[in-house]
Structure 1
Amino acid sequence: MRMRLTGPELGKIRRAVVLTYGGSGHSLEELNLALTDYIDCKNVFDYVTVNQPFDLQVASLLKRANGEGWLPGLIGALQQHQSESADLQEVLHTILTTASARQVVGLASGSPELPAETRAQLQAILPGGGTILDLTTLQRRIRCVCRIDYADLNPPGFGSGFLVGPDLVLTNWHVMSRFLEAPPHAQIAKQLRFRFDLLKRTDAVDGKGRVAEAKINGGSPILRFSPAAGMELRGGTGEPGRDALDYALVRLAERVGDDPLPGGRSGEIRGHVKLRASMPLPAQATALMVLQHPMRGELQFAIGTVLGPNMTGSRIKHTAATQSGSSGSLVLDASLGPIALHNATRRGGDRENQLFNTAVPLTRIVEDLKSLGAIGLLQE
């Protein structure tokens, strides 16, 4: 997906929004609810002329969001707000190349409950038409991803993460920075919640799923971390180097990875992503998939392409349509192999002329763990 869209694509999105929201006498107010509920510091009335027809107001809103780089977040917010809208669902599939994890599992398993239209849309956007997705591996990848909440915040959803050991979660440093920057002996670590198995929208909204807490025992649950740097920080400049990888490794209070695999065969366990001493470096122009909890919602796949490395080799650039809450997501290659940790969205430079997303190659994190002497965390 290109991070900025063309006129015909914007026209298709506009029609979907008008069909979804235009039948009410309070269409603009309802549209604004979606923004204020799911996107910080955004208000529809800052982007439209109140006395215009609704379709022109939607066109103005989409144009601004597209130009400023928050169109994927806008569409995600609308879809979360109007989850039953088939028109918005089609936009997610065909333009944002995003699909729910449940739908992808339905395609891989040949479920007769998956509508034919949805099946065709997924086959059009997934690598290899979805035929190369091994169902067992797919289920394991899905079940090792969690939404990270702070229970004392409302709404609580803050980021994503994934198991790299039976009781170890890898996420971004900036997702954990609220805890890391807190005064000594603060109670923030006790507010951390790691919610697995949020495959249904209702479970995500209600904060259900398999919930684990951080292991504290009088100390920090964070075993290792490397901060973000450069332009990823407010007021910063330049590319982050290989000593600034925006990751945090968190110890859980229980071995969630040893759980029986939900929906699996007898004896199968949830498992985890294995950080090996040698990890593949994502290759330019290859397909990738981000397994994420955008907008505090249910688990989703965002499909995109590797654009290549940044100047320092500490990040890869990609085009998958991530949104707020996607920080710390697992990035997979076309065969579901783990390759990176999603971490940010960037505004492109003069030659790039578009937004792109960044992720930290897992091989760089492995190198950092080796340099810290944390060899025991790696698996051959």
Structure 2
Amino acid sequence: MTDLLLRIDGVSHRLAEADVWYLTRQRDGLVPTRRRCGAGELGHFVSRRGRWYYRTGDPAALPVRLNGRVVQDPTTRLPRGPVHLTWERPAGPVVRDVQRSGYDEAAIVRAVHAACPRYEDLELLLADDLRLELFHISPPADMRWVVDEVIRTARAYGWLTDLLTAVRFAHPREPALDPVMPRFDQESMVDEANGLSDPFAFAARLVRACPQVCQIDVTSGSRRSAGTGFLVGPHIVLTNYHVLRDVLDEPGSPARVAFTFDLHEHGDARFTRRAPLRLAVDWRLAASPPEELDYVLARLDGVPGYDELPTGERRGWLCPSGAAIARPSRGMRLVILQHPRGVMLKQAFGDVLGVDGAGTRLTHRVNTMTGSSGSPCYDVDHFRLIAVHRAGAADSGPAACNTAVPVQAIHADLTARRFDFDLLTDF
């Protein structure tokens, strides 16, 4: 075993090889101690394979001389034999991390004192959360003086933010902290509009909505096209007019259109839990051409809304009433459930860019592809139906944004047509 003989300002200290020794600044100078004290900690001494090393996080912040040489590296190998250490006291306080400026130190002292009125309270908080010894900063005394000394030490050595965060965590309801903490929060709500949301609530709503979306396949002669739709009644699908244009503009056999539910990934297998459905004989309930609202309500030859899913729940359908339909707004976060290019069900997220003056078109920045037309657009926060995606904003070529039809506009159009909403179970 090789101990280190360390001389600091003429005072000798013997450091046992088995321990890590922390060099700390105290009222009577520099002292090596086995207990860590971040308040005045300059670095630490450690023995590895019979040789001693001095390590410090920031050599330039608090200059230390070992045998007359200024420490310049984070790790310094010490010579064998006694080591003489001196410390160059900085002219002013050293700040190791950036603190927010413009704060009222008296207000911070009052806040910490209110949260930790007794010496034991502050001692426990520093020991548990910051691994600091309060006694090394200040012995027991009047608590306002003790807290003031802790604040000044924390500010000088760059852990004031950590201290306030620990106090807030331990005393989340302390009102005295409210005017102080915003200046020291290192995290920021950079986008108040998006806020924070509950992931479990979102996941539950997403799982509930996915079975209500279907892939639409249209065959016209040798040409095939694809789209997306979703249930708004037990057996009624809402999609874009242009998705079913071939059977709307040129009436023919409804067997040319197939609606497939539960088309999604399950491991590596491609499967569906339900056979494709066709259009009913009297399938057309309401429609608006592409140059207007570009929607169609189509009745199916089955009732998929009442299907029992593998979870034991009913598939269900979207049935927002007029009062519950959300108004889209710029910056609103959207999620679109879609079957791009007729493949498995996918999701994509993006923002609402704006709504036109007539309220009949919504532009958004959500990724879509051919086959996504007719997809439901939900707001991320509450998973309300906002719009029906229809196409890109450009007439030809890649579009910088996409367009959708607000459900508000569709509901208003159906109301003007005196549509029987009972068919949609209060759509």
TM-score normalized with structure 2 length: 0.49
Task: Say which of 286, 289, 297 aligns to 2:335.
Answer: 289
What is the Cα deviation at residue 311 of structure 1? 3.4
Contact 1:201–1:298 (Cα < 8 Å) also in 2: no
Partner secondary structure for residue 426 of structure 2 = coil
Distance 1:203 1:313 in 2: 42
Matched, 1:340 2:381: no
Matched, 1:224 2:286: yes
**Structure 1 residues 276, 192: CA separation in 2 closer, same or farther (over 3 Å shift)?**
same
Task: Say which of 390, 400, 407 aligns to 1:362.
Answer: 407
**Structure 1 residues 130, 367: CA separation in 2 closer, same or farther (over 3 Å shift)?**
same
Contact 1:294–1:322 (Cα < 8 Å) also in 2: yes
What is the Cα deviation at residue 134 of structure 1? 3.6
**Structure 1 residues 152, 173: CA separation in 2 closer, same or farther (over 3 Å shift)?**
closer
The unaligned stretches of length 5 or more in structure 1 are 1-125, 230-243
Alignment of 1:1-380 (within 5 A): 128=196, 131=199, 133-151=201-219, 156=224, 158-182=226-250, 184=251, 186-187=252-253, 189-200=254-265, 208-217=272-281, 219=282, 221-229=283-291, 244-262=292-310, 264=311, 266=312, 268-278=313-323, 279-334=325-380, 335-347=382-394, 355-374=400-419, 375-376=421-422, 377=424, 379=426
Distance 2:385 2:262 in 1: 19
Partner secondary structure for residue 149 of structure 1 = strand
**CA RMSD after TM alignment:** 2.8
Partner secondary structure for residue 210 of structure 1 = coil
What is the Cα deviation at residue 307 of structure 1? 0.6
Contact 1:306–1:318 (Cα < 8 Å) also in 2: yes
Distance 2:206 2:222 in 1: 32
Partner secondary structure for residue 138 of structure 1 = helix
Select the structure of larger CA radius of gyration.
Answer: 2
Superimposed CA distance per residue, residues 117-156 of structure 1 (whole angstroms, 9 cap, x where no aligned partner)? xxxxxxxxx9958725444322221000000012567785
Matched residue pairs, number? 228
Contact 1:193–1:211 (Cα < 8 Å) also in 2: no
**Matched letter for residue 247 of structure 1:** Y
Partner secondary structure for residue 280 of structure 2 = coil
**Structure 1 residues 209, 284: CA separation in 2 closer, same or farther (over 3 Å shift)?**
same
Contact 1:203–1:209 (Cα < 8 Å) also in 2: no
Distance 1:144 1:360 in 2: 19
* Structure showing the higher strand proportion among its residues: 2
Contact 1:257–1:269 (Cα < 8 Å) also in 2: yes
Contact 1:133–1:336 (Cα < 8 Å) also in 2: no
**Structure 1 residues 191, 209: CA separation in 2 closer, same or farther (over 3 Å shift)?**
farther
What is the Cα deviation at residue 247 of structure 1? 0.3
Distance 2:286 2:201 in 1: 32
**Matched letter for residue 245 of structure 1:** L
**Structure 1 residues 204, 273: CA separation in 2 closer, same or farther (over 3 Å shift)?**
farther
Distance 2:320 2:286 in 1: 14
What is the Cα deviation at residue 212 of structure 1? 3.8
The unaligned stretches of length 5 or more in structure 2 are 1-193
Contact 2:216–2:342 (Cα < 8 Å) also in 1: no
**Structure 1 residues 295, 153: CA separation in 2 closer, same or farther (over 3 Å shift)?**
farther
* Structure showing the higher helix proportion among its residues: 1
Contact 1:204–1:298 (Cα < 8 Å) also in 2: no
Distance 1:143 1:154 in 2: 30
Distance 2:273 2:222 in 1: 18
**Structure 1 residues 369, 174: CA separation in 2 closer, same or farther (over 3 Å shift)?**
same
Partner secondary structure for residue 317 of structure 2 = coil
**Matched letter for residue 327 of structure 1:** S
**Structure 1 residues 203, 312: CA separation in 2 closer, same or farther (over 3 Å shift)?**
farther
What is the Cα deviation at residue 202 of structure 1? 9.2
Which residue does the alignment assign to 2:104?
none
The share of aligned pairs that are identical, in percent, is 35
**Matched letter for residue 210 of structure 1:** R
What is the Cα deviation at residue 295 of structure 1? 1.6
Superimposed CA distance per residue, residues 167-204 of structure 1 (whole angstroms, 9 cap, x where no aligned partner)? 0000000001011111x5x22x1121111111128999
Distance 2:384 2:355 in 1: 18
Contact 2:261–2:274 (Cα < 8 Å) also in 1: yes
Contact 2:214–2:230 (Cα < 8 Å) also in 1: yes
**Matched letter for residue 312 of structure 1:** A
What is the Cα deviation at residue 213 of structure 1? 2.5
Higher relative contact order (CA 8 A, sep 6+): 1
